[in-house]
């Protein structure tokens, strides 16, 4: 098996709900042991896509294979090969940690001695050996999330689908969680993650960006930034974005002015490459500014660029 092997292939996949098209002719591939980030605002069609790929929802038109199985013709085959962790990581809160793991092992057809081995391995992996008899309800969110992840992995799936895995989890737990995700990818598991946290998307090997049911961008984070965010970006301290906008009005070299926290991001023609260039451009225009820094565009900039273009 080569690393370039496609474990997910999606061709013109669409899903309509009545007159509403939730997913509109989407095409992409996911390679083995890749972390694929599926981005978009709420309602952009992320969850609908993931549900189709997990065999939970039949596509209206188009095809997709997951782990070599056709999602429409063999949804059960798909389910056997994948793990799925839904938005509200749906553990049974009135069961103990161990009972949850036992149930999911059984649901995947792992019984008897194999089940004991699998459950013990999952407890160890999630570092939950000491809480095996704790009722899930009494665990903090981060630990519950670890348990949900361990449940979704109990049958050693080739691909793991994570639908908004870090919703409602503290930043510390989120970091730990991504460390685990990267560990899984190193061991050969393919990860398909939906998120609307753009900072998390930076951890992904490749990203697909959904806007209104369409896949509008696909590539590695650096590729996306290069392709979709032209020019050079600078962060200006101690300035007012309205004053800046007024001062630079009509200057063709200015591509974008955007307030960003306490600073203002200014994107200009790539010819202006250094802070000195910016300083000379602004001098004599009657606008106050502080320190100027060259910065790299973020995925947020990519997103703003693409969503702005679409609307």
Partner 1 sequence: MSGASKKRRRRGLVLIRFAAMAGKEVNHILRDPQVLLFALGMPVVLLLLFGYAVTFDIDHIPLVVVDQEQSASSRELIAAFEGGDLFEVVAVRETPEEVEPLLQRGVAKVGLIIPEGFDRELLRGDSPQAQLLLDGTDNNSAGMALGYANALSQAATKKAAERAGTPLELPLEARARTLYNPGLRSTVVLVPGLMVILLVMVAVMLTALTVAREYERGSMEQLFATPIGRLEVILGKLAPYFILGMVDVLLVVTVGVLLFDVPIAGELAVLTGVSALFMLAMLMQGLFISVATRNQMVASQLAVISTLLPSLLLSGFIFPVESMPSPLQVVASIFPARYFVHAVRVVMLKGGGFESIGVDCLAIGLFFLAMLAVSIKRFRRFVA
| CA pair distance 267, 302, nearest whole angstrom | 12
| CA pair distance 142, 126, nearest whole angstrom | 11
- Residue 170 Cβ vs partner 1, minimum distance, rounded to whole Å: 21
Nearer to partner 1, 167 or 281 (CB): 167
- Residue 283 Cβ vs partner 1, minimum distance, rounded to whole Å: 58
Span between the terminal Cα atoms of the chain, in Å: 42
Nearer to partner 1, 77 or 275 (CB): 77
Nearer to partner 1, 145 or 239 (CB): 145
- Residue 79 Cβ vs partner 1, minimum distance, rounded to whole Å: 5
- Residue 112 Cβ vs partner 1, minimum distance, rounded to whole Å: 8
Residue (of 141, 138, 133) closest to 100 by Cα position:
133
- Residue 95 Cβ vs partner 1, minimum distance, rounded to whole Å: 5
Nearer to partner 1, 161 or 289 (CB): 161
Find where tokens 């969680």 sit: 177
Q: What residues line the site for partner 1 (CB under 8 A)?
A: 17, 51, 54-58, 75-76, 79-80, 82, 84, 86-88, 90-92, 94-95, 99, 102-112, 135
| CA pair distance 20, 46, nearest whole angstrom | 15
User: Is residue 117 a contact partner of residue 159, using CB atoms and an 8 Å limit?
Assistant: no
- Residue 29 Cβ vs partner 1, minimum distance, rounded to whole Å: 22
Query: How many Cβ atoms are within 10 Å of 218's Cβ, its own excluded?
Result: 17
Nearer to partner 1, 94 or 227 (CB): 94
| CA pair distance 209, 219, nearest whole angstrom | 9
Nearer to partner 1, 88 or 156 (CB): 88
- Residue 256 Cβ vs partner 1, minimum distance, rounded to whole Å: 40
Is residue 92 exposed (0-12), middle (13-18) or buried (19+ Cβ within 10 Å)?
A: middle
Nearer to partner 1, 92 or 260 (CB): 92
- Please, how many CA atoms are within 13 Å of residue 28, restricted to the half-sphere of its CB? 25
């Amino acid at each position: 098996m080569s690393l370039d092997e496609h474990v997910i292939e999606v061709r013109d996949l669409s899903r309509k709900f009545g007159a509403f098209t939730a997913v509109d002719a989407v095409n992409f591939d996911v390679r083995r042991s890749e972390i694929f980030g599926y981005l978009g605002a709420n309602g952009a069609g992320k969850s609908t896509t993931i549900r189709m790929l997990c065999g939970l929802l039949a596509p209206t038109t188009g095809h997709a294979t997951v782990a070599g199985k056709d999602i429409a013709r063999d949804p059960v085959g798909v389910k056997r090969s994948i793990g799925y962790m839904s938005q509200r990581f749906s553990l049974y809160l009135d069961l103990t940690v161990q009972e949850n793991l036992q149930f999911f092992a059984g649901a995947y057809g792992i019984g008897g001695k194999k089940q004991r081995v699998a459950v013990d391995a999952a407890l160890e992996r999630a570092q939950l050996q000491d809480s095996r008899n704790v009722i899930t309800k009494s665990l903090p969110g981060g630990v519950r999330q670890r348990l949900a992840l361990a449940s979704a992995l109990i049958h050693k799936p080739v691909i793991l689908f994570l639908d908004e895995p870090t919703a409602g989890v503290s930043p510390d737990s989120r970091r730990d969680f991504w460390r685990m995700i990267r560990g899984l990818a190193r061991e050969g598991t393919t990860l398909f993650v939906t998120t609307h946290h753009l900072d998390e998307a930076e951890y992904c090997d490749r990203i697909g960006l959904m806007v209104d049911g369409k896949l509008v961008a696909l590539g590695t984070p650096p590729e996306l930034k290069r392709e979709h965010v032209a020019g050079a970006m600078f962060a200006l301290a101690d300035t007012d974005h309205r004053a800046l906008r007024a001062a630079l009005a009509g200057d063709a070299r200015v591509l974008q002015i955007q307030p960003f926290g306490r600073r203002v991001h200014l994107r200009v023609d790539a010819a202006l490459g250094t802070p000195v260039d910016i300083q000379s451009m602004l001098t004599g225009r009657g606008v106050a500014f502080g320190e100027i820094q060259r910065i790299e565009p973020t995925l947020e900039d990519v997103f703003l660029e693409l969503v702005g273009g679409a609307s």
